[in-house]
Amino acid sequence: MIGIHWSEIVFPGATFLVLTTYHLYWVYQVRRSPFRTYLGLTRHLRHMWVESMMKEKRDILAVQTMRNSIMASSFLASTAMLVGLGLTSFIFKPGHLGEVPFDISLIFSHMRALFLAKILLLILHFFFAFFSFTLAIRYFNQMNFMINVPIDCDPLLTPEFVSRTLDLGMAHYTMGMRSYYLAGVVVLWLFGPQWMFLGSLALTFILYRLDHCCTLDYSTATCDIEKHGVESS
């Protein structure tokens, strides 16, 4: 490898190890102790919300809530596409096109190709974010129809089934946001591998605070929807 410093291999490898280890731990926590994570807690609350909307037939509130999620996803998807296309136009300038490392074995041949490889990785992050947010919009649109169908019309269209559809949309929304977060680490790589590694440590700390909530057990939370509906009427 000509013109490549050892730090361009060690620090990106350490960054990948740190971020991968944290996300594996996070997935393990979501499966093992879901109510200690905001993802598991919000999933539980979404199931209660869907059941409430379908049983109380609060169609307008449900559609307005889903509209807010669709608008947020549309904005983030559009932003990701604009940034991705802007970076792509930079890559495919006449002066840069001949140096794009289409051959993986040539990525570490010289520093100029390595810089363009970093830009390509950044483009992949934003395109993946766009793909994730568009899938989230797809599931949110399906939710608008499902949640307004009376429960008695189709025994298969239960609140549990509708909740799983909403969970799929929110899962893609979460992956899109993760792509935005990780893109920040790749941007730091442009300034140096040391900054990338330090950024991954800071991002891991921030994500831990965002992903984990208090240790209270929310699994015993119940909501008597029928009783609540009688009292409110």
**pLDDT digits 0-9 by tens, 32-82:** 888 888 898 889 889 999 888 888 888 788 888 899 999 999 999 999 999
How many Å apart are CA 133 and CA 148, to the nearest integer? 23
Please return the burial class of 195, using the count of CB atoms within 10 Å of its CB with bins 0-12, 13-18 and 19+.
Answer: middle
How many Å apart are CA 146 and CA 212, to the nearest integer? 31
pLDDT at 107: 47
pLDDT at 228: 45
SS3 40: helix
Q: How many other CB atoms sit within 10 Å of the CB of residue 135?
A: 19
Q: Do the beta carbons of residue 150 and residue 57 sit within 8 Å? A: yes
Q: What is the mean pLDDT of residues 135-147?
A: 91
Q: What is the pTM of this model?
A: 0.81
pLDDT at 18: 95
pLDDT at 217: 53
Question: What is the per-residue pLDDT across 206-228, written as a single tens digit (0 to 9) for each?
Answer: 999 999 886 555 455 555 444 44
| 190 vs 216, more confident | 190
On the question of pLDDT at 99 being above 60, the answer is no
- Quickly state the pLDDT bin for 1 (edges 50, 70, 90): very low
DSSP 99: T
Question: What is the per-residue pLDDT across 174-183, written as a single tens digit (0 to 9) for each?
Answer: 999 999 999 9
Report CA dihedral (66, 54, 34, 214) to the nearest 10 degrees.
Answer: 80
How many Å apart are CA 186 and CA 159, to the nearest integer? 40
Question: What is the per-residue pLDDT across 5-36, written as a single tens digit (0 to 9) for each?
Answer: 677 788 999 999 999 999 999 999 999 888 88
How many Å apart are CA 225 and CA 215, to the nearest integer? 26
Q: What is the mean pLDDT of residues 151-159?
A: 77
| 134 vs 225, more confident | 134
How many Å apart are CA 184 and CA 203, to the nearest integer? 9
Interacting residues of 7 by C-beta distance below 8 A, sequence separation 6+: 192, 193, 194
Q: Do the beta carbons of residue 132 and residue 172 sit within 8 Å? A: yes
pLDDT at 226: 44
Interacting residues of 25 by C-beta distance below 8 A, sequence separation 6+: none
pLDDT at 108: 47
